[in-house]
């Protein structure tokens, strides 16, 4: 049986309202429960990667991003690029909580010709800017977007969420070099630093550290946060210097599979899904 | 190209040109002088070049990339596929100095697979102008069209084949000369070779119809089929691999339309890299210059006697 948590509609007005921290934490719980239900229903999905990013997405979509729900074509609105496209499950469930897509549509996730395929498709879903899935593409496009804001005198901000394994792609560093070169202080990269990639630990496969020093050397303003502490994520982003002439990177320390004990911090759960009594067990842990 | 871009901005197009240390390749200086904020140089980083162009397009610009075709096609292939084509970004890709334009610089610098690779991608229009008049027309169209466009560009000084009244129409096959004995279908930088070959054949009593296939996608395939149905003999000419270019396209059309025609595709040998050297000699080697085309047609029309005497006559020119 397929059951979704029915979330209360919190938005009374048209504008994306800023929720309180406990309200956002509740949103994050709902998102996680939907991820479990959606992936187990679909029989596939990147469960570990989806759960890892939830608090970052919740902080962005329920507090940070300036979006008018009814005017997504507003050229002044903030932009978000999910560069770790395999985290699309978490993103769809966030869009459900934010009221951009119907909860019932999650049942079609990964089905033939579904509106909700396994990687983002701009044509299908609101707030998807770029068809990602191949890694290392989001930052360059974020640079172009941030540059367009600078060149046309607009003050919107651009956020790019990358995986950590994704940082092994050379194109990320081409983008990074140019973000600093163009002095894009309206651009923020958030790294979902869960230390796991598909097959194993990032540091075992191809070491990324020292990440802070690397980003600093590329001209970035580097911040480090607990990627599951919504208050800290929001405070850190709000404290960013938007006139410093430097792009920003937030290294968000996360746990892959966060919230479910038997999924947490296990490489094998990159694209495994909960089955049978694992579903109820996971949901109970997320209550 | 640059004049068209300047005109476009004057006409109100919100243009941004992204280059990758390719300001000289793209001869963009006059545009940059007028509109310094509309030229973005990302340095030698083709993946970033295409990604940044996509970002600019998402931010409301008509974004144009301008760098050498071999690097655009190969190095940033996945950005072209996903970020431009799949995302349906409003980006115009200028494949500069395509084909064997960089003759002696060898195969790292040749783009003999661009038409084939672009045809493998969805959502993108593929255009190849044959002379400066058509280049201006095609660029104007590309800038006015919303969505991905690839333009196969060339820096060679080619004869002008069109008068100022010429109007490029996407999909249309441009008939440069009517004829009955053979169809010469050519693309881009070798259209003039086919056109002058046709004039020469005319003098020898062979009537060639010359098709300039500048719109590879979209393409009114029936217009090519009609010509072949009339002449029953077709020679395709391209400075491109024989895999997946115009020759392949015409053979598809022959099969689809169930035509019983003779086809001779002229281009870079299948399964090989192009030879390096002066461009004219590369063209002569593959028979895609005027002389090679004349010879090919004479052979096809079974005028072997004429082929021999034509060779003798041409020999001192080498």
Dihedral (CA of A128, A131, A132, A136) sign: negative
Kindly determine whether residue B52 and residue A75, on different chains, have CB atoms separated by under 8 Å. Answer: no
What φ, ψ does residue A61 adopt, rounded to 5°? Answer: -80, -20
* Structure-token match 């395999």, residue found: A86
Over residues A73-98, the pLDDT tens digits come to 999 999 999 999 999 999 999 999 99
Angle (nearest 5°) at CA A114 between A108 and A116: 75
pLDDT at position A10 over 90: no
In contact, B173 and B145? CB cutoff 8 Å: no
At residue B240, the 3 state secondary structure works out as: strand
| Chain A contact present for B73, CB below 8 A | no
Structural domains for chain B:
2-152 (3.40.50.970), 174-313 (3.40.50.920)
pLDDT at position A56 over 90: yes
What does DSSP say about strands B233-241 and B182-186: parallel, antiparallel, or unpaired?
parallel
Over residues A110-128, the pLDDT tens digits come to 999 999 999 999 999 999 9
- How far apart CA A244 and CA A146 sit, in angstroms, is 14
Closest approach of chain A CAs to the CA of B153, in angstroms?
Answer: 24
In contact, A211 and A191? CB cutoff 8 Å: yes
In contact, A219 and A180? CB cutoff 8 Å: yes
Mean pLDDT score, A55-61: 98
The neighbour count for residue B273, using CB atoms within 10 Å, is 13
Mean pLDDT score, A186-214: 97
* Structure-token match 């040109």, residue found: B17
A181 to chain B: closest CA residue: B42
Nearest to B52 among A75, A134, A147 (CB): A147
E strand or H helix that includes residue B210: strand B208-212
Q: What is the 3-state secondary structure (H, E, C) of chain A?
A: CCCCCCCCCCCCCCECCCCCHHHHHHHHHHHHHHHHHHHHHHCCCCHHHHHHHHHHHHHHHHHHCCCECCCCCCCCCCEEEECCHHHHHHHHHHHHHCCCCCHHHHHHCCCCCCCCCCCCCCCCCCCCCCCCCCCCCHHHHHHHHHHHHHHCCCCCCEEEEEECHHHHCHHHHHHHHHHHHCCCCCEEEEEEECCECCCCEHHHHCCCCCHHHHHHHCCCEEEEEECCCHHHHHHHHHCCCCCCCCCEEEEEECCCCCCCCCCCCCHHHCCCCCCCHHHHHHHHHHC
| Chain A contact present for B58, CB below 8 A | yes
In contact, B32 and B39? CB cutoff 8 Å: yes
| Chain A contact present for B159, CB below 8 A | no
Edge-first strand listing for the sheet containing A158-163:
A79-82, A158-163, A187-193, A248-253, A221-226
- Count contacts between A and B (CB, < 8 Å): 106
Question: Biggest alpha carbon distance in chain A?
Answer: 54
In contact, B57 and B18? CB cutoff 8 Å: no
Structural domains for chain A:
21-286 (3.40.50.970)
- How far apart CA B18 and CA B96 sit, in angstroms, is 13
Closest approach of chain A CAs to the CA of B79, in angstroms?
Answer: 7
Residues of B within 8 A of A134 (CB-CB) are: 78, 82
The pLDDT assigned to B265 comes to 97
Q: Which of residues 64-123 of A touch B (CB under 8 A)?
A: 75, 79, 121-123
What φ, ψ does residue A64 adopt, rounded to 5°? Answer: -80, -50
pLDDT at position A8 over 50: no
In contact, A170 and A136? CB cutoff 8 Å: yes
Of A246, A278, A241, A275, the C-alpha closest to A261 is: A278
In contact, B101 and B155? CB cutoff 8 Å: yes
| Chain A contact present for B206, CB below 8 A | no
Which of B50, B53, B55 is the best mutation test for A, with the most CBs of A within 10 A? B55
Q: In this structure, what token pair is assigned to residue B163?
A: 């008068």
| Chain B contact present for A172, CB below 8 A | no
Helix axes A21-42, A277-286, angle to 10 degrees: 170
Q: Is 0.90 topped by the overall pTM?
A: yes
Per-residue pLDDT of chain B (318 residues; tens, 9 = 90+): 999 999 999 999 999 999 999 999 999 999 999 999 999 999 999 999 999 999 999 999 999 999 999 999 999 999 999 999 999 999 999 999 999 999 999 999 999 999 999 999 999 999 999 999 999 999 999 999 999 999 999 998 899 999 999 999 999 999 999 999 999 999 999 999 999 999 999 999 999 999 999 999 999 999 999 999 999 999 999 999 999 999 999 999 999 999 999 999 999 998 999 999 999 999 999 999 999 999 999 999 876 556 666 666 665 544
Over residues A123-151, the pLDDT tens digits come to 999 999 999 999 999 999 999 999 999 99
Kindly determine whether residue A141 and residue B51, on different chains, have CB atoms separated by under 8 Å. Answer: yes
Closest approach of chain A CAs to the CA of B14, in angstroms?
Answer: 10
Number of helices and strands (H, E) in chain B?
A: 13, 12
Which residues pair with residue B152 across a beta bridge?
A: B95
Return all residues near A11 (Cβ < 8 A) that are at least 6 apart: A17, A69, A99
B76 to chain A: closest CA residue: A171
| Chain B contact present for A230, CB below 8 A | no
Closest approach of chain A CAs to the CA of B117, in angstroms?
Answer: 18
- Could you say which DSSP state residue B111 is in? B
- How far apart CA B113 and CA B98 sit, in angstroms, is 9
Of A146, A70, A229, the C-alpha closest to B55 is: A146
Nearest to B47 among A131, A142, A174 (CB): A174
The DSSP result for B66-101, as a single string, is EEEHHHHHHHTHHIIIIIIIITT--EEEEEET-BTT
Return all residues near A134 (Cβ < 8 A) that are at least 6 apart: A85, B78, B82
- How far apart CA B197 and CA B199 sit, in angstroms, is 5
The DSSP result for B257-312, as a single string, is TT---EEEEEEEPTTSPPPPS-HHHHHHHHT-SHHHHHHHHHHHTT-HHHHHHHHH
Burial of residue A239 (CB within 10 Å: 0-12, 13-18, 19+) is exposed
* Structure-token match 């239900």, residue found: A37
Residues of B within 8 A of A133 (CB-CB) are: 82
- Report the phi/psi class of residue A114: left, alpha or beta, with left for phi > 0 and alpha for psi in -120 to 50: beta
| Chain A contact present for B16, CB below 8 A | yes
The pLDDT assigned to B112 comes to 98
- Could you say which DSSP state residue B158 is in? -
In contact, B162 and B128? CB cutoff 8 Å: no
| ipTM beyond cut 0.85 | yes
The pLDDT assigned to B302 comes to 75
The pLDDT assigned to A271 comes to 85
Of A162, A7, A227, A187, the C-alpha closest to A95 is: A7
């Amino acid at each position: 049986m397929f059951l979704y948590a029915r979330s209360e509609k919190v938005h009374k007005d048209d504008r994306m309202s800023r929720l309180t921290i406990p309200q956002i934490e509740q949103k994050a719980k709902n998102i996680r429960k939907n991820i479990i239900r959606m992936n187990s229903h679909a029989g596939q999905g990147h469960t570990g990667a989806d759960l890892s990013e939830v608090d970052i997405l919740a902080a962005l979509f329920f507090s940070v991003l300036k979006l008018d729900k009814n005017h997504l074509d507003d050229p002044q609105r903030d932009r978000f690029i999910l560069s770790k496209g395999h985290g699309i499950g978490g993103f769809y469930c966030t869009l459900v909580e934010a009221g951009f897509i119907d909860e019932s549509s999650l049942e079609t996730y990964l089905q033939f010709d579904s509106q909700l395929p396994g990687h983002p498709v701009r044509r299908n879903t609101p707030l998807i800017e770029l068809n990602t899935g191949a890694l290392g593409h989001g930052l360059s496009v974020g640079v172009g977007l941030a540059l367009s804001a600078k060149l046309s005198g607009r003050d919107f901000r651009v956020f790019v969420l990358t995986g950590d394994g994704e940082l092994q792609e050379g194109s990320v560093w081409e983008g990074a070099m140019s973000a600093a070169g163009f002095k894009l202080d309206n651009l923020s990269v958030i790294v979902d630093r869960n230390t796991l990639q598909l097959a194993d630990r990032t540091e075992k496969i191809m070491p990324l550290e020292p990440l802070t020093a690397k980003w600093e050397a590329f001209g970035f303003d580097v911040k480090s946060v607990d990627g599951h502490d919504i208050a800290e994520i929001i405070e850190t982003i709000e404290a960013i210097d938007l006139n410093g002439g430097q792009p920003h990177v937030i290294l968000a320390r996360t746990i892959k599979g966060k919230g479910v004990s038997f999924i947490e911090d296990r490489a094998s759960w990159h694209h495994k899904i909960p089955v049978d009594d694992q579903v109820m067990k996971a949901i109970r842990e997320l209550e | 190209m640059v004049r068209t871009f300047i005109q476009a901005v004057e006409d109100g197009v919100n243009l941004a040109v992204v280059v990758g240390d390719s300001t000289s390749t793209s001869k963009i200086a006059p545009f940059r002088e007028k509109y310094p904020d509309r030229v973005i140089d990302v340095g030698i980083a083709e993946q970033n070049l295409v990604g940044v162009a996509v970002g600019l397009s998402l931010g409301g610009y008509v974004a144009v990339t301008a760098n050498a075709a071999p690097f655009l096609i190969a190095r940033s292939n996945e950005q072209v596929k996903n970020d431009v084509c799949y995302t349906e970004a409003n980006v115009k890709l200028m494949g500069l100095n395509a084909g064997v334009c960089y003759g002696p610089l060898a195969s790292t610098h040749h783009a003999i697979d661009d038409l084939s690779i672009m045809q493998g991608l969805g959502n993108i229009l593929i255009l190849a102008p044959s002379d400066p008049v058509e280049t201006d027309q095609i660029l104007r169209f590309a800038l006015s069209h919303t969505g991905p466009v690839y333009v196969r560009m060339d820096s060679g000084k080619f004869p002008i084949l069109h008068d100022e009244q010429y109007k490029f129409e996407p999909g249309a096959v441009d008939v440069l000369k009517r004829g009955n004995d053979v169809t010469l279908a050519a693309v881009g930088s070798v259209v003039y070779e086919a056109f002058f070959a046709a004039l020469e054949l005319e003098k020898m009593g062979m009537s060639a119809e010359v098709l300039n296939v500048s719109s590879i996608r979209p393409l009114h395939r029936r217009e090519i089929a009609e010509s072949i149905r009339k002449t029953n003999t077709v020679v395709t000419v391209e400075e491109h691999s024989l895999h997946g270019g115009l020759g392949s396209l015409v053979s598809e059309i022959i099969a689809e339309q169930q035509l019983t025609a003779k086809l001779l595709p002229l281009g870079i040998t299948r399964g090989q890299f192009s030879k390096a050297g002066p461009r004219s000699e590369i063209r002569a080697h593959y028979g895609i210059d005027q002389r090679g085309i004349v010879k090919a047609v004479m052979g096809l029309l079974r005028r072997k006697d004429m082929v021999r005497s034509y060779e003798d006559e041409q020999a001192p020119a080498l």
